[in-house]
């Protein structure tokens, strides 16, 4: 996916307008504006994922702004590019909170980028909404973190259940060799152990590793029925292509973290039949109000019908944030926003339900299995 020059310049102008001129922000709020902060990979190997997340959020915020905003305030999203680097994400968060004084943080692209940013959010009691991750480390109850999506444990349990009920017995795993990657591996192992199974091979790679031939060889040699990938789209696509070239006849499956549309684009014709779990409804299912709303908003934002699961998830997350801002009332602050989020129990945002409470900040357990079909489309 290319970042349109006009949109990029427009987004920079919006961000600059939010930071220069006019009254100073007090916790990201003035009489006319609300400033939300985000760090994400807008450049580098995973830029498609970061841009997709940002596009989905911008589509919702622009829709709100065109209708007059919330209590007369328009929402501005300030995104700093971390290049998918955890140290840069942590530094970005310090900038967003200490220098830009944002109201809330939104939509970081992974647990790897989110976890290093938590100390700053906690120090300043900043709400952190909709991180793009289902990692366990981000789902432990934290007074400031609100997850909109299901967990990787939910996804991997459903995936393993599906394959074992179809008679498949041997599983291999592709994961990142870091704390979150090992959590994902453990989740697969737990789901398999419930059924008296364990992985026949594990291919562990570094997060930015490009030479993955050893991991491919290890997995292909074990001849598994299924390979479960818990890595981002570039690593996953490279692995699948190399494994198929090496003669693997395995069924390949991935969690939603991969970035489904980006994976389909990267694989091309070789993606047919690859299974991807999804934590939001099909972006083509216009029978759902949230999908119809998203389609219209993203088309207006991008100037074309370029839909994806990632931007839909970001749109839903932004709408949850917008609803919480609305419920917080005209006297908006970090404290009032946190109070509103904690009271969002069984909220329907258009056919997708969110359920938060003071003791539960994991808003959804929705998981669906999809498969890449022809021309990068998905079947259900």
Q: Give the residue from 309, 256, 355, 263 showing the smallest Cα distance to 56.
A: 309
**Whole domain around residue 161: which residue ranges?**
152-278
Instruction: State the total domains in the chain.
Output: 2
What does the alpha-carbon distance between residue 41 and residue 15 come to, in Å, rounded to a whole number?
17
Judge if 61 and 161 occupy the same domain.
no
Per-residue pLDDT at 8: 43
DSSP string, 144-210: TEEB-SPPHHHHHHHHHHHHHHTT---EEEEEESSHHHHHHHHHHHHHHHTTT---SEEEEE-TT--
Domain assignment of residue 265, yes or no? yes
Per-residue pLDDT at 131: 97
Judge if 139 and 46 occupy the same domain.
yes
Judge if 126 and 25 occupy the same domain.
yes
Judge if 260 and 239 occupy the same domain.
yes
Q: What's this model's pTM, rounded to 2 decimal places?
A: 0.85
Per-residue pLDDT at 14: 42
Judge if 291 and 329 occupy the same domain.
yes
**CATH code for the domain of 174:** 3.40.50.2300
Q: Summarize pLDDT for 122-160 with one digit per residue, the tens.
A: 999 999 999 999 999 999 999 999 999 999 999 999 999
| φ, ψ dihedrals at 72, nearest 5° | 80, 0
Question: End of a domain among 228, 247, 278?
Answer: 278
Domain assignment of residue 369, yes or no? no
Per-residue pLDDT at 374: 77
Per-residue pLDDT at 21: 41
Q: Give every residue of the chain whose pLDDT is below 50, as ranges.
A: 1-25
Per-residue pLDDT at 380: 66
């Amino acid at each position: 996916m290319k970042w349109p020059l006009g949109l990029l310049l427009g987004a920079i102008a919006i961000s600059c307008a939010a930071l220069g001129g006019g009254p100073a922000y007090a916790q990201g709020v003035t009489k006319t504006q609300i400033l939300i902060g985000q760090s994400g990979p807008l450049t580098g190997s995973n830029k498609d994922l970061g841009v997709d997340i940002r596009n989905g959020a911008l589509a919702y915020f622009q829709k709100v702004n065109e209708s007059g905003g919330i209590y007369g305030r328009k929402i501005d999203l300030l995104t700093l590019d971390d290049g998918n680097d955890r140290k840069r994400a942590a530094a970005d968060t310090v900038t967003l909170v200490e220098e830009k004084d944002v109201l809330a943080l939104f939509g970081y692209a992974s647990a790897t980028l989110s976890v290093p940013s938590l100390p700053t959010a906690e120090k300043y009691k900043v709400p952190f909404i909709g991180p793009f991750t289902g990692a366990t480390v981000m789902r432990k109850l934290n007074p400031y973190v609100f997850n909109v999506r299901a967990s990787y444990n939910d996804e991997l349990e459903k995936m393993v259940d599906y394959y074992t009920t179809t008679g498949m017995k041997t599983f291999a795993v592709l994961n990142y060799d870091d704390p979150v990657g090992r959590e994902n591996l453990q989740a697969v192992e737990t789901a398999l152990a419930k059924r008296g199974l364990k992985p026949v091979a594990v291919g562990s790679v570094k997060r930015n590793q490009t030479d993955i031939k050893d991991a491919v060889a290890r997995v292909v040699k074990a001849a598994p029925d299924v390979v479960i990938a818990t890595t981002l789209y570039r690593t996953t696509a490279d692995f699948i292509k190399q494994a198929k070239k090496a003669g693997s006849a395995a069924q390949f499956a991935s969690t939603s973290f991969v970035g489904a549309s980006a994976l389909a684009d990267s694989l091309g014709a070789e993606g047919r039949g690859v299974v991807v779990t999804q934590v939001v409804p099909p972006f083509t299912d216009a029978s759902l109000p949230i999908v119809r709303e998203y389609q219209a908003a993203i088309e207006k934002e991008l100037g074309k019908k370029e839909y994806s699961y990632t931007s839909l998830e970001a749109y839903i997350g932004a709408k949850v944030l917008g609803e919480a801002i609305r419920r917080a009332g005209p006297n908006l602050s970090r404290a009032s926003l946190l109070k509103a989020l904690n009271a969002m129990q069984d909220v329907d945002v258009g056919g997708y339900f969110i359920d938060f409470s003071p003791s539960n900040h994991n808003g959804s357990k929705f998981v669906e299995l999809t498969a890449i079909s022809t021309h990068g489309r998905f079947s259900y």
